[in-house]
Structure 1
Amino acid sequence: MIPELCDQRIRQFINGSDFVLAMNEDNHVFSWGDNHCGQCGRKATPFRVYLKPEVISDLNDKNITHICCGFKHSLALTTDGQVYGWGSYYEQYQNAEGSDTRVINSCENHYKSFFEELSDNPIGSGGFGTVFKVRHRFDEHIYAVKRIHKEDEIKNHMEVKNLVKVRSKYVVQYYNSWTEGIILYIQMELCEYNLQNILEVKLQVFGRQLGEAMDSVEYLISCEIFRQVLESVQYLHELNPQIIHRDLKPENILITLGKAMDCVEYLISCEIFRQILESVQYLHEMNPQIIHRDLKPENILIAENIRNGRFVKLCDFGLATVHDKRVHYRTTQKHTADVGDMRYIAPEVSQGGKYGHKCDIYSLALIGGNIFEIDLFNLELEDTNVYSELYQILNEPVYRLQTILISMFRTRLWHRRPECSEVLSEYNEWSIDRNILANDTRFDGILSILQSNDNHLFIELSAIGSGGFGTVFKVKHRFEEHIYAIKRVEIKDESEEYLQRFYNEVKNLIKVRSEYCVQYYNSWTEGNILYIHMELCEHNLQNILEVKQQVFDRKLGKAMDCVEYLISCEIFRQILESVQYLHEMNPQIIHRDLKPEN
């Protein structure tokens, strides 16, 4: 037993010539053994003075993923591709003095080599450093990098150590840290906004004066923000040992935004939103109008069987009401107040005022915000708005879409909100031309697979059975990687009677979807081949009968022992139950080809 490593949750050991490295689940690296060349990552010691296990503290904040040992040197790889080395570089890397120091060097220009600053001005600064929005030159992801002068080394290392400890959805994501001269760099998840930004614009967004009561929507959003802040601090306090933040303030509570969509996702989102608008427009153009009053994602269904090119359907008309303009606009009569889902209810409905069909438009704006991941409560429109630097062709359509959603959402006088038909009339401005995707290689790849039928979705692994009704292959799905069986049947005669024999198998498989029968998934034809996609069962009863005597060491004609007899009873019971299932269907199904192979 190695006492120093007890409770360290070690997951990897690597041996050098006469020293050892180990890495635990927190990616901390330990070393022990001979260290006269500094191969243990500590100050060099005399030859054959063996060290006890100890953590290499210089690597604690480096996010190490792999370690390896040479004869007298060690290497460590980080998540962002940096390689750290120490010890003697031996034959190829031996320098004049012999590498006997414990200094672990990284590229002095790592920041400039790997990152490109995206703005001249930092996105945040304070007593503990300055934060820049950057793009990684290789993976092209956007990050935040905090740059700190090393005057107070203890405080600086404390921030890094705490970020490493608290890797969680509740805390800004830490990726890496390194030093260049007197500067400490900390690479983190980018969150461009903080709670202070929200507090500064909240009154203006909701059209409320300081001291006035919040409406239901603003109060609900405030509750959600406060709940998430409480959960984040609770996470720190429940750590063992506890962590006390000691600098909680709105500026230190960050708001994360999603990444921009690519062209394919955006076009699909536009199509979904278009069909939702058309569905609501249909209700509003009826005479008399119908107001849904409970529009939300849960009440917008996606149909599996597409008819007339439409797959979006509205449901749940329990709160819907008829809106007769002659009655509701010319009399004091008004619709019921405060109905619908609090997340999507229009202000005029929750406040009990008069309202019309355009309360649905408010809900649609929020649903559009969900689809396109646009935060309408905090969106600030600027002429220079850049949605995506990678997909710049989206910048103009998204800006137009944001403008339209704002008009649907923020207009205080509800009757001035646009009609669905008006939003749809600008579809070509806020969507993108499908021809743009002709240059998208990923889209082409998906399209080619779809155009070449389902068979190209599978990789054949082996043939597992054949007979008069076709050959069965064991296959792997290219995308989901599950294993299935596909029966391939050659259609040699196109007469109706001949074809009916094959299609009967498919029809019956669809009818008998049950635990008693092999699971049917799909079927299709390619040329003169019928394919049936099914659950994989690699063995049949005939296989068992062929080996049963050998397994139980019994000669033909000899009596079974109790174990073999019990297993045989269980097999026969399940066969009887399966056939009984077919015979109890209405109408009955007669199998007509029962045999051990089936």
Structure 2
Amino acid sequence: MLFINSDNRVHGLGANAYGSLGLGHNQWVSEPQELVELRDKQITDIFNGKKFVIFKTSDNFLYICGDISKKFCTTSDVNARYLRPMIVQIDGTDVLVDDISCGSYHILVLTNKHEVYGWGSNRFGQIGSRDTKFEDINTPKLIDFNGNYCIKSVRCFEHQSFALTSDGQVFSWGYNHNNQLGCTTSSEIICRPQLINDLRGITSVQSGAGNTFFINTATNDIYVCGQYVDKNSKTNPLYEKLVNKTNRNLTIASINLVTVYSYWFYKNNLYISMEYCSLSLKKVIQLKAPVFSRQPDSELMTCMEYYLSCEILRELLDCVRYLHELQPPVLHRDLKPDNILIGQNISENNRFVKLCDFGLSVDETVCDTLLSGAGTQLYTAREAYDGCYTAKGDVYSIGFIVCDLFDTDINNPRDRYSDYYDWSDKYCRLMQIVGQTMQGSYDARPTCAQIIDQQSDWALDSRYITGQLDFNDILEQLKHRERDLREDELGTEPEFWEFFYTFLLLKTNCYNLNTF
């Protein structure tokens, strides 16, 4: 274990068989010890492979320690292999690093000049040096991409390497035993960077288990390559059940659901390629109060926040109604804020809410396959524990989701807003409906369609919102709200704060492309 304390000093503790703690030996360390060579170096990041560790400073310099003999030797003094962290140099100058990634036994660094250097084990060509002898590279070596490409990030996996360009193109090289590099060649070892055809706008790469995923966050597309096992050859008793569920999800594709693109089996595991949505309702609920400058425990929602919450609920009800009105009806059985995602494609009828995680979903007619206790306990209807689950079980779950979304105490749901606003009666009516969704007898619960039909009783009209004197001011505040909120409230991704502004613009018909 390596950690940086509040004084910006690095300490090591625990296993140290390869000297990777940088303490000058390879013995177990029972109490934290400081790496004195790194004192005052302002270490900001720590990266590791299987037997080595890389330290990055605030000035973008690198230090390395661990098993650096043969595979990572950056000095002629072989006696220093287990001793102390030493600075990494490229062509006799200190490295200025914009990005770094470690594989099992190799390292890639991207400099501030958009040059990529690699060193370490080259057994599978993962350094990209074009050396067909596949000998270890002991000092950082410049990698040639054979063209005028601006590399913006690098990614290493076990024995594979990837580089992403500024326009989202991807180079790959290294071990290709399952065709996980995505290249047109089927060679098992690729010793120089190969540009993957037809990939554009890629922002992230993830690889493992013989497959690689390429993610385009702008379009929410995920591309996959690697080993696909012949699905017809599987004898796993769970195969038919899993494939039937996945085929069903493909069949009922809709703007209400996260899109499933394809699926495959590998080593008795089912892998599903699906639409990427970075924001969940759970995260929206966590952010909603601070975004609207509200203390959740002591302050009430304003009409703007209440309107936004109602519109989210309206879309959620419409998603679940869609499933329930299919023939045969489909039951989700695990509705909760984590399984309700927020899409960012505003071209799809101004819809944001999408359902995901259909691992427990079934056709309502298949009652004999229902498992008692399916789903998450807090959101699961009581009758499910008796082996009985109908569409009203999903409605029960929605009742508890409403309590989360509207920051409501389910024990005293109506007292909080009574006569406080001129729209308090709508809130009270909504809480009456919530009480109905939680009835012990599922027959007494309303359907999603019935709740939607009553929306004029519990939801605010967009004209009421746009008629507020401070409407434009609040929109402007939301547009720039990320400047004022702490990072631990919003996170670092822009969609975490941008959602609220975009959502209100669209729902109030005030959206204008020029506002961005």
TM-score (norm 2): 0.34
**Structure with the larger RCO, 1 or 2 (CA within 8 Å, 6+ apart):** 2
